[in-house]
Amino acid sequence: KKIPWLEVLGEITIPGSHSSAVIFFSLSVFYSVIPAASYTDSSDDETSPRDKQQKNSKGSSDFCVKNIKQAEFGRREIEIAEQEMPALMALRKRAQGEKPLAGAKIVGCTHITAQTAVLMETLGALGAQCRWAACNIYSTLNEVAAALAESGFPVFAWKGESEDDFWWCIDRCVNVEGWQPNMILDDGGDLTHWIYKKYPNMFKKIKGIVEESVTGVHRLYQLSKAGKLCVPAMNVNDSVTKQKFDNLYCCRESILDGLKRTTDMMFGGKQVVVCGYGEVGKGCCAALKAMGSIVYVTEIDPICALQACMDGFRLVKLNEVIRQVDIVITCTGNKNVVTREHLDRMKNSCIVCNMGHSNTEIDVASLRTPELTWERVRSQVDHVIWPDGKRIVLLAEGRLLNLSCSTVPTFVLSITATTQALALIELYNAPEGRYKQDVYLLPKKMDEYVASLHLPTFDAHLTELTDEQAKYLGLNKNGPFKPNYYRCLGLPRNQGHLGSDELPALELVFASPTTYAYMNSEK
């Protein structure tokens, strides 16, 4: 295929003895870039994956992805992610012989990225069978989904699903003849909600739920309070290894990436309001402040509000600054944080986006009215135009910005994914009766173990307590070093009785012999 600019380049004459080598090198670089760049172009084939008949190389058609032919490229992305996920790789190596998840049938609903693929393949290496759907219609990496399907994982997901596609994919994971899940790994609670709604009898065989998001955990606590939670659930979101790493550090880096890729904006001097100063909000504020933005914060929690003030941010009500800010970012996990009234009062070209899990924080539905014009500028970027010509820039239709519009740091996701894997091992191997139909927090010993698996990456060396020091502090030399009630600030729970303080069975007791061996802890 002839490409005009390559032909012109070939005709250039460069003085000197190395001219031909320079031209050859330039041609080889251009030719190598073109195929790799084209794989994300969805305009090549607009046929819905649901209407395609695809098979992997083994003849299986138990999947639904955008294009199975992208599997090779997705495999390279997964291999790259493995380099930045040392704890999962260590877990895979140490536990592969014992297969602590042998017999586990895990149905998952998470973001389908290269990092999730490493987690799924780790669960497979530990003996589990997995079926997977996406928890967000925009966050799936098509080539990664193809690679998983090629490897034999039943994956039902593609980037740009409709709402109907979203629930269809979840149903295809759950409703399959001859296979019934006995574990749930959820991100946002949609999978759990769907099973409760459509297949409640399945919970008779499900041993437990592992949930990692604020939104999903909130749903579980609601079910528990109402007496409708019929299996044990692990609250991964409130574990220290999730809150202080994934929520904080991941968002601190990815908020800038998502905004840059979609808007090409300059941050210096921009006025930004961040709604919510939990760990996600803290990460966003720190990154924007470092780039020279003027950052305001809204909060309902006086503790988080005081933290924002001590960190040098102006605490305001959204109504007070809505007319002047250049960017509005929601990080609350709540609903209708930014209402139509706020949207009407925003200045021209204000950027509006969400860093929470669900698309409920911005009232996007109120913008779909005849008097407003929607203009798609680029992928995940819409201009919503008012009759007087004012427009706002809406990113990802109010859905999760970083995973919809950019990528997230692999290393920090390794921490969360390892915590999820250990939670699944714990619940699956727990003897009957250990966990009631309630929501549990992971013990700090497990948090500390996950953290310790990542320290070798930094060539970090822990100091060990002497016997005298351990006795003085009243601690075991090997931990846990944090009390079980230790959590991050800013996570109020109305259901206080569900916290780990009153669940001593979880404190230092682990279910599987495998877990004992990993952690070198005393029973």
Binding residues: 113, 187, 212, 242, 246, 278-283, 299, 402
Q: Fill in the amino acid letter for 78.
A: I
Query: From CA 321, how far away is CA 343, in angstroms rounded?
Result: 12
Torsion sign, CA atoms 262, 263, 266, 271: negative
CA atoms within 13 A on the CB side of 412: 17
Q: Fill in the amino acid letter for 299.
A: E
178 sits in the region (left: phi over 0; alpha: psi -120 to 50; else beta) called left
Query: From CA 397, how far away is CA 355, in angstroms rounded?
Result: 12
Contact 110, 416 (CB under 8 A): no
What are the structure tokens assigned to 257, written together? 């990436």
393: DSSP letter: E
Cβ-in-10-Å burial (0-12, 13-18, 19+) of 460 comes to exposed
Contact 235, 441 (CB under 8 A): yes
Chain-centre distance of CA 371, in angstroms? Answer: 35
Query: From CA 402, how far away is CA 409, in angstroms rounded?
Result: 10
Q: Which amino acids are annotated as binding site for substrate, given as ranges?
A: 113, 187, 212, 242, 246
Residue 255's DSSP bridge partners are none
For the sheet with 439-441, list strands across it: 155-156, 129-134, 105-110, 183-186, 208-211, 233-235, 439-441
Q: Where are the alpha helices (DSSP H) in 351-409?
A: 401-405
Query: From CA 412, how far away is CA 421, in angstroms rounded?
Result: 15
Contact 497, 512 (CB under 8 A): no
Torsion sign, CA atoms 442, 446, 450, 455: positive
What are the structure tokens assigned to 394, written together? 């809406």
Place of tokens 């759907």: 133
Q: Which amino acids are annotated as binding site for NAD(+), given as ranges?
A: 278-283, 299, 402
Query: From CA 6, how far away is CA 56, in angstroms rounded?
Result: 36
Query: From CA 514, how far away is CA 95, in angstroms rounded?
Result: 7
**H or E stretch covering 110:** strand 105-110
Task: Tell which residue, 241, 191, 184, has the closest CA to residue 208.
Answer: 184
**H or E stretch covering 147:** helix 142-150
Strands 391-395 and 381-385: antiparallel
Contact 150, 71 (CB under 8 A): yes
